[in-house]
Amino acid sequence: MTDTSTFMKLREDEREIRKSLIMEAAMRLFEEKLFHEIGMRDIANEAGVSAATIYRYFPSRDDLFVEALIQDINNIEKLFEDRIARGENKIEALAVAAVDYFVDNEATFQMMCHFMIRGGINPRAMNKFNAVQIYFMNMFSEVVKKAEGSDNKRLFTEAFFASLAGVVMTFRNYPGRSREEKRKHMHKLALLIMTGDSRLES
């Protein structure tokens, strides 16, 4: 390897490290505040860099959101695969796992909701998010197939995911219940969706 290529490799490594630090700082803020309360300057302060530096890596806040979501998909995929490896290979177990992931990773859930319900997002970021959604649905379909041991219809997967997201969106901040009570209630609703057993109702 020449000195020039070594230098370029070091520069690229430094760039990736700085990019990761910025995304980690953003995720920390997203856990504490609502998205509309956080600007690029806030993220820059949290990461210990200038706002100009962030814009060299991410043209907009939405671009930063999408990159963080792409990174997080690997964690979701690993969670599902680990559940299956431990023998928790029924669709009901995966429904509970999905609810738990969204409850325990508020920033990820907020980012997904942000893109699903908000208009006026720049086309570049929206195209990336659509690709993330397609990847996520494909991953979810494969996991469900493995869990059930049979072919799965795409519409079932989409309805399953949309229903679980709706349950979490509706009840994650429900007043008058503790965090654990809300989680248990969401588990019951997720299982009701998957089994149709009304005896699971609270």
SS3 content of the chain, % helix, strand, coil (to 5): 80, 0, 20
pLDDT per residue rounded down to tens, the chain (202 residues): 565 666 566 566 777 888 888 988 988 888 788 777 888 999 999 999 998 989 999 988 888 888 888 877 777 778 777 877 887 767 777 788 888 888 888 888 888 887 777 766 788 888 888 888 888 788 777 766 766 655 556 777 788 888 888 999 899 888 889 989 999 999 999 888 877 665 554 4
142 and 89 fall within a common domain: yes
pLDDT for res 183: 93
165 and 126 fall within a common domain: yes
71 and 37 fall within a common domain: no
pLDDT for res 184: 93
| Greatest extent of the chain over all pairs of C-alpha atoms, in Å | 69
Nearest CA to 102 out of 175, 181, 172 is that of 172
In angstroms, rounded to a whole number, what is the distance separating the alpha carbons of residues 145 and 157?
10
In angstroms, rounded to a whole number, what is the distance separating the alpha carbons of residues 186 and 103?
9
pLDDT for res 148: 60
130 and 181 fall within a common domain: yes
> Which residues constitute the domain of residue 43?
1-58
48 and 140 fall within a common domain: no
114 and 165 fall within a common domain: yes
Residues 6+ apart with CB under 8 A from 200: 188, 191, 192
pLDDT for res 151: 56
pLDDT for res 10: 59
19 and 36 fall within a common domain: yes
pTM above 0.85, yes or no: no
As given in the structure block, the two tokens for residue 160 are 């399953």
**Domain end position, chosen among 58, 92, 107:** 58
